[in-house]
Structure formats: C-alpha cells, structure tokens
Structure 1
Amino acid sequence: MPALTEPKLITGNSNKPLANSIARRMSMHRGMNVGLVDARVERFNDAEIFVEVFENVRGEDMFIIQSTSKPANDHLMELLIMADALQRSSAGRITAVIPYFGYARQDRRTKARTPISAKLVANMLTRAGIERVLTMDLHAAQIQGFFDIPVDNLYAAPIFALDIQHHFGDMDDVMIISPDVGGVARARELAKRINAPLAIVDKRREKPGEVAEMTVIGDVTGKRCIIVDDLCDTAGTLCKAAEVLMDAGATEVHSYITHGVMSGPAVERVTNSVMKSLVITDTIEPTQAILDCPNIRVVPTAPVFAQGILNIWNGTSVSSLFETETLVPIYEGFYSKG
C-alpha cells in the first residue's frame, strides 16, 4: 500500500553533492520540490559529532543519505547519530541510503583473532533504529545476511553496460576482465549484459596490498579490455593488471570501478598508467584531483538511487532496477542515442 506521507531526505557530510542530486532527481519524478531536511551535522572542538534536526519529522518516511567513506569512522558515527536523532523525534521509518558501505572488506575472518567488522557495523546500524538499508555493490554479497532488516543492494553493472554501449560503439573486440578469481561473478554479470567474452587476471599476494605475481587466463590479443571491480583503493593492483594485459597483447585497457576510494597515490598512478580510462561512480564524493585527472571519468548514481528511494517509499520493486532496460529511461539525457 503506498505511503501517505512524502519521502523526506536528510544527509550528513560524506557526500552532499550526491544527496543534492538525488533530491533534484526525485523532484523531477514527483513533479514537486523534494529538498533535504534542514539539519546541522557538526563537530564540537574535541571532534565529537552533534546532530540537530530543525524540521518536524514525526511519522515521516525518512531516508538518510550517507556513505561511510573516508574518514570512515566519522561518517559512520554521523549516520548512527542521525538515525538516533530521527528515532527519538518519532520518525515513522528510517532507511539508510549508504551508496558506499565502508568496512565491507572485513566480511570474514581471514586468520585467527581478527574481527568481522562488517557484521559489527550491521549490528550498530540496526540498534540505532535503522529499519532498512539501500546500498550499491557490496564488496561481498553475504553482508546482506549480516542484517536482520531488509537490505536492497543495487548494482552498478546496468549503468556500466549503458556507458560502455554508449562510448565503445562496435563491441566485437571488447573483452571484460576480472582482476582476480574472486571477482569473476561480478565481471561475468557485466559481460553477459553486453554480450562480451571474459578473461581473468589471476593475482597472488605476498601480503595485503602487495601483489607478487599476475597471470592472464584467456587470450586478450587484439582486444579492448575492460577491467571490472567493485572498488579501487590505492590503484596499485589495477595499474599492474593493465600493464599485464597490454603485455599480453591487448590494444587498450579501460577500467570500470564502482567505488573510487582512491587513497594515497591512486590518482597519480592512474594518470601515469597505461590505462586509457578509468570510470568510477560518485558513490564516494570525488576529490578535485580525481575531477582534474584526464583519464578518470565519473558517472552519476543519483538517477538509480532516486528511483530506488521512490520504489521503497511506494512499496514497489527495487529489483526492477537490476535490469539495463529499466535504467534507459531513468538515464535519458545521459546516454541518448545518436
């Protein structure tokens, strides 16, 4: 049954441009102004976070837009405190829209005496009063099972499929590449959408963050290769994989990465790499260095998040947004034919 109240959006400090873009898209869909709830999310002198909501939210369907990106702990605490403020203000339902879910890489115990931090974060979000989560490209699908509340995990693959079809033209020589064995399912999903073959770069790590050896599984000779992954942190592995592919006979290497964490020397590495382009989404607010980089391009996620929020509010299917065909009208204007 459709909700009687209008959806209301509130945001922290992690990605205000994306929150504003989502609000604008929802305004277009609703034919009426959908703004961000007036609130302040700030810090005391000792960096303690304080939240104050200036509007009445009693009984409202609230959506908190907040990525838990760098600084992850600050943005996570903002999200938790905003949820607590809304719950104590008698909000009707609180949905956390988390475009980038931090701590997702800690989804299992890799060795003795280590935590499963993704589960801990899930517990904290639930205890803070959040009743539903909307996110994109979780690092591991099983994280949805860490929650005892509904979790809608959107996919960047249909957006990437639209972008590739728009920018690459003839697809005969395009090949999708998984940068490791663990990412094969994600890469295969995109390959099926654009009807392209698949190859794998098998990597062996000596220790976290350092790759000892890479081998290409599959023939990439004469192919325009597209590396697909969920996140890029320091870009060391990504740039090394591009070199290995070029050495194996690829004509060009491009990368499509959902979450551009881009820590430390990442932008410099991409700028100096053999990659022709790196495409990321705006789930994490891009820095000025990223925006200025000539071979990095940012594609918007506001259209799909806006539609996802409206579908949750209306009680309609969110899984319909998994299909490329569904996103064509949503992204009209971004990827117009001709």
Structure 2
Amino acid sequence: MLFFALNRSDALGRAVAAAGGFCVAKHEEREFDGGEHKARPLTSVHGKDVWVLHTLNGEPGASANDKLCRLLFFLAACRENGAASVTAIAPYLAYSRKDRQTKPGDPVTTRYVAALFEAVQTDCVVTIDVHNFAAFQNAFRCRTLHLDTGRLFAAEILARRGEAPIAVVSPDGGGIKRAELLRETLVQMSEGPV
C-alpha cells in the first residue's frame, strides 16, 4: 500500500499516517504560468494499492475546482503508471450538496463529480459525513465508503458540555435530518435529556 497526501492536505495526511502507523509517500506538485499544475508520484506505484488523501473544500488560493482537478489528475497518473488500485480519500467531497434537481434546469453535481472519478478509473471513494447518504451511494458506480463521525462528535460534545443543556440546530433545511441524527446519538450516549 502507498498513501499519498496532496499539498494543502499534507498536515491532515501526516496525522492520518501517524495514527495508522504508515508513511506518507513522496510526490511532487508543480505550478505553471496560467494557473496550470501537475502532480506525480516520486515513488513507483506499479502493482501497488494507492490511497490518495485530498480534502476538496475551497480555501484562499485553492478553489474546490482546483483541488478536485489536482486529485483527479493525480489519481489518473497513478493508474496510468500501473497502480493495482486507486482509492480517493476526500474527507470533504465538494459538490455533494447538489444531489437532485430542485428547480428546472438545476445541475446534479454529485453525479457529475462521481462520473469524473469513474473516468479516471478510481476504484473507491472514501468521504466523511456526506450531505445525503442515499444520493451519494446512488451517484457513484465505483465502490464508496462513507464514514459517519456522529458518535465521535457526540462524545466530544458531551465531554465539553458540563451541566448545560444542548441544542442541536441546522443552518438550513437540508441539514435537518443530519441534525436530528446527531440529537438522537447524543440522547443515546448521554445520561440525561438533550
């Protein structure tokens, strides 16, 4: 197994590797005039199972689009250089919130992103707490692994609350179901009402 963490996800990648007891494989990323870039493994991937971590949230200097392209291009380079399998680890999966048409002509970006991963022959996509689990599963034709952090966050929330009551809210209608699941988890794990 080879584990890569692309730039801008390298701190998280080092933490994951340390927790898992494995190394982060070396790679190179270069920037070119005009906004283009390239990334390549500096370790032979031939015949290896390759895991690539890159979170796809936009940030100053790197849009979600830019980060998505970097991940896709790196996965494709690994596949073209003989990797036995390629797994994308995208803790935040960009465009997963637009999973259905809510207005005429709306894009279904979850499916488009899935098609991009499939186009570069990604074997598996791993992500955390997607917006809509069923839509996520239905969008991808390759294997997916969804990690639910509800119990982890619930334990941390309960450890920090002291005696204060907890209110679970959602910033929008789309998050109500996830907020309710978190509330239920908190009730199950706590000794008192939430």
Question: Which of the five TM-score ranges fits, normalised by the shorter chain?
Answer: 0.7 to 0.9
Q: Contact 2:131–2:175 at 8 Å: present in 1 too?
A: no
* SS, match of residue 153 in structure 1: strand
Match of 2:191 in 1: none
| Aligned ranges 1:93-132 → 2 under 5 Å | 93-132=85-124
Match of 2:132 in 1: 140
Match of 1:26 in 2: 20
Q: Aligned partners of 2:76 and 2:35: how far apart in 1?
A: 18
Q: Aligned partners of 1:76 and 1:170: how far apart in 2?
A: 43
Distance change (3 Å), C-alpha of 1:114 and 1:180: closer
Q: Contact 2:2–2:25 at 8 Å: present in 1 too?
A: yes
Kindly provide the CA deviation profile for residues 118-155 of structure 1, in whole angstroms up to 9, marking residues without a partner as x. Answer: 21111011111210011001112212210011111111
Deviation of 1:62 (Å): 0.8
Q: Aligned partners of 1:88 and 1:179: how far apart in 2?
A: 42
Match of 2:27 in 1: 39
Choose the corresponding residue for 1:88, options 80, 90, 107.
80
Q: Aligned partners of 1:65 and 1:183: how far apart in 2?
A: 25
The amino acid across from 1:54 in the alignment is: L
Deviation of 1:73 (Å): 1.0
* SS, match of residue 169 in structure 2: strand
* SS, match of residue 176 in structure 1: coil
1:167 equivalenced with 2:160 (yes/no): yes
With 155-164 and 105-114 compared, the bigger mean Cα shift is at 105-114
1:185 equivalenced with 2:177 (yes/no): yes
Kindly provide the CA deviation profile for residues 171-195 of structure 1, in whole angstroms up to 9, marking residues without a partner as x. Answer: 6x33323344433321222222221
Runs of 4+ in 1 over 6 A off after TM superposition: none
Q: Aligned partners of 2:69 and 2:162: how far apart in 1?
A: 44
Unaligned runs of 5+ in 1: 1-6, 28-33, 197-224, 226-338
The amino acid across from 1:26 in the alignment is: G
Match of 1:68 in 2: 56
Q: Contact 1:10–1:64 at 8 Å: present in 2 too?
A: yes
Match of 2:43 in 1: 55
% identical aligned pairs: 26
Unaligned runs of 5+ in 2: 189-193
Kindly provide the CA deviation profile for residues 25-56 of structure 1, in whole angstroms up to 9, marking residues without a partner as x. Answer: 111xxxxxx22111112221122121221111
| TM-score scaled by length of structure 2 | 0.87
Deviation of 1:11 (Å): 2.0
Match of 1:149 in 2: 142
Higher Cα Rg: structure 1 or 2? Answer: 1
Q: Contact 1:14–1:68 at 8 Å: present in 2 too?
A: no
The amino acid across from 1:119 in the alignment is: R
Richer in strand (by share): 1
Q: Aligned partners of 1:97 and 1:166: how far apart in 2?
A: 29
